[in-house]
Amino acid sequence: MKIKDVRYELYRHEKPQHPGEGRTGFPRVKGKVPFPLLRIITDDGVEGFASNDREVPESTVSAIRQMIVGKDPLDRERIWQDLWLWYDAGRGSKYYSKITLRDMAYVDIALWDIAGKALGQPVYKLLGAYRDKIRVYASSYDLSSPQEYADEVISCKKQGVTAYKLHVAPEITVETCRACRRAGGDDMVLMLDGGPYPRGLALQMGKLCDELNFYWFEEPILDSDIEGLIKLREKIDAPIAATETPLMSMYSIPEYLIRRAVDIVRPDVMIYGGITPVKKVADMCDAFGMQCELHSGAHGFPICNVANLHVECAIKNCEFHELRWPDVVRFGLKEYPVLDNEGYLHVPQKPGLGVEIDWESLGKPVTSY
């Protein structure tokens, strides 16, 4: 089996209606929603798909095509390393257009999709399955008042969701955290993601997380401030979750592990350059006895979120899948992973990523090359 072609298509989808529209903090998407799609096609007719939040220029797609057409799509490691050389060593500045980690993610995710389809197995099985479902936490949008957050916590509990993460403005963080703890009770898992803060304010918020028994404190200060993370970790008990914004994909992570700058590492297949590096990050964390809780995005890139789900179900040291709440703006796929009434998300069991593109709803691409 060889790679025959690489195609990029950009669709613009009508923004779906949802009962949450009009509420404070609901994502206001004007006009049509972009749905970029990379398709890697093999000479056996097997096709892999990937989509994320980056629209890719034609010059980059052309360069990717030159690099991988004719290669075995199962040689994922070799292809990823070739792409990394292009990204890291600046090779693209002379021969090709620039490449980003998100461009690399397109290729890597599509290749894993091909591998699963060719071998008749879901991706999480190829990675080494650990589970077939994982607990979710509801990840809030920015709301306007502590009461709105508290009401959402209550709503989550009624639907079987047992964990909730607050994205909240600094000026209402203290009151909101207290309101959510009162609303959720002692058995509701709560996390805070309100930063990054200045160091002094991060310490205050960390002490608040300790007082209210929050499960983790996310992105308290900038990821680049490793010394600040180390000092903060020494002064609070709440686990610190960080590293969502690496400069060097998986190669950024060893310093955080060796120096014990964080308690929980936060990779994402879209941000880190694919499934391949995120699985390696998870294994690194496991070797250090640390959690690896993957980040998942909001609307607009469901294939990446499904890819994250496959990694989460292939590793031991991950407890949750991040699910934006309410789970809105679904488009592009015929089916989505099932959230059961106990708060668990089930990984697709079909070969590959287990996703099926809803071509009819997408219509004709506005860009194709």
- Other CB atoms closer than 10 Å to residue 186's CB: what's the count? 6
The answer to whether the CB of 203 falls within 8 A of the CB of 230 is no
Q: In the chain, where are the structural domains located?
A: 3-121+357-368, 125-346
Of 10, 37, 30, 17, whose CA–CA distance to 304 is shortest? 37
Q: How many C-beta atoms lie closer than 10 Å to residue 90's C-beta?
A: 10
**DSSP assignments along 214-251, one per residue:** -SEEE--S-TT-HHHHHHHHHH--SPEEE-SS-SSGGG
Contacts of residue 302, defined as CB under 8 A and 6 or more positions apart, other chains included, come to: 51, 330, 331, 332, 333, 336, 355
Query: How many helices (H) and strands (E) would you count in the chain?
Result: 14, 14
Spatial distance between the Cα atoms of 27 and 23, rounded to a whole number of angstroms? 9
- From the list 140, 135, 126, 96, the residue with the least C-alpha distance to 341 is 135
**Residue 302, preceding bond cis, omega within 30 degrees?**
no
User: CATH second-level architecture of 3-121+357-368?
Assistant: 2-Layer Sandwich (3.30)
Beta-bridged to residue 325, according to DSSP, are 140
Residue 146: band (very low, low, confident or very high) from pLDDT cuts 50, 70, 90:
very high
- 132 and 156 Cβ atoms separated by less than 8 Å: no
Residue 108, token pair as written in the block: 């890597």
pLDDT computed for residue 95 by the predictor: 55
Whole-number percent of the chain with pLDDT over 70: 92
The SS3 call for residue 263 is coil
Is 101 within 8 Å of 87 (Cβ atoms)?
yes
**pLDDT score for 94:** 58
Choose between 22 and 228: higher pLDDT. 228
- Which of 333, 311, 335 lies closest to 322, judged by CA? 311
Spell out the CATH class of 125-346: alpha beta
For residue 271, the model assigns a pLDDT of 94
Q: pLDDT over 90 for what percent of the chain?
A: 81
Number of neighbouring beta carbons within 10 Å of residue 341? 8
Q: Is residue 27's pLDDT more than 60?
A: no
Average pLDDT, the chain: 92
| 147-205 confidence digits (pLDDT tens) | 999 999 999 999 999 999 999 999 999 999 999 999 999 999 999 999 999 999 999 99
